[in-house]
Every structure is written in structure tokens, then in C-alpha cells.
Amino acid sequence: MKAEREDMLLHLGGDDRPSIEVPGQLSAGVVFTDLSSFTPLTEAMGDAQAADVLARFADLVHQVTERYAGRSVKQIGDAFMLVFFEPQAAVTAPLDPSRRQQRHTLRRRAACPRGPR
């Protein structure tokens, strides 16, 4: 995980284009995260147990998002759209150590697309 984090931060820092500030415009990093294979998991464990897993995942996502000064924009089922106003937070939050502690029960994935400023 440390190597993944360092690699992502290196790519974020590799942009040497000058920053163009536009009044009233904010730069933000958007993160999409969800549980891996949640639909088959729901079918295998039943609705009540799947709802418990989803509630634990949602709590964890909200705690980590708040820790890195982000905002939860939207949730659809097990998928979350999060926004962070610091690029490092957008990369670091999905790799947060508290999320790794849940590895044995919650397999998740995350994406942080990056585009022009």
C-alpha cells in the first residue's frame, strides 16, 4: 500500500503546468469507491447480513472522508462519490490505515480520476 500511495502522489506532483486561478472556481479531487462484488455477496449472505456489511462500509467511508476534510457527494447502494479539495487527500483517503484494518471483511475498490485544471 505504501508503494501505491507514493506512486500516486508522484503522479499528482509531476504536473509542472502553471496553475490558472479563475475567480469562484475550485479545484477538487473526486473519488469513487464501492465494495467489490457486492451483488453476488448480497445474494450469498442474504439481505439482512448484506445491509449490515453496507452499514459498516458506509460508516467507514464517512469517517475517513471526514478525517481528510472531504465531502460525501452521493451514495447509490454500495457506491460513494466523494470530493476532496486537496489532491493528496483524494489519494490518501482511500488508502487510509483504518480502511486496511477492515480488509478481511470488506473488499473495496476506489478510483480517483484526474483531468485538466
Q: Which residue has the higher pLDDT, 9 or 68?
A: 68
Query: Residue 112 — pLDDT band, cuts 50, 70, 90?
Result: confident
pTM: 0.70
Instruction: Report how far residue 25's alpha carbon sits from residue 102's, in angstroms, rounded to the nearest whole number.
Output: 36
pLDDT of residue 24: 74
CB 91 within 8 A of CB 7: no
Rounded to whole angstroms, what are the CA distances from 92 to 1, 10, 41, 69, 103?
Answer: 10, 12, 27, 11, 16
pLDDT of residue 104: 46
Closest CA to 54 of 68, 41, 66, 67: 41
- The pLDDT mean for the chain works out to 78
pLDDT of residue 62: 94
pLDDT of residue 36: 84
pLDDT, tens only, 21-60: 677 777 788 999 998 888 888 899 999 999 998 998 899 9
Task: Write out the H or E segment, with its range, that includes residue 81.
Answer: strand 79-84
Query: Residue 103 — pLDDT band, cuts 50, 70, 90?
Result: very low
Report phi then psi at 66, rounded to 5: -65, -40
Q: Where are the domains of the chain?
A: 37-117
CATH number of 37-117: 3.30.70.1230
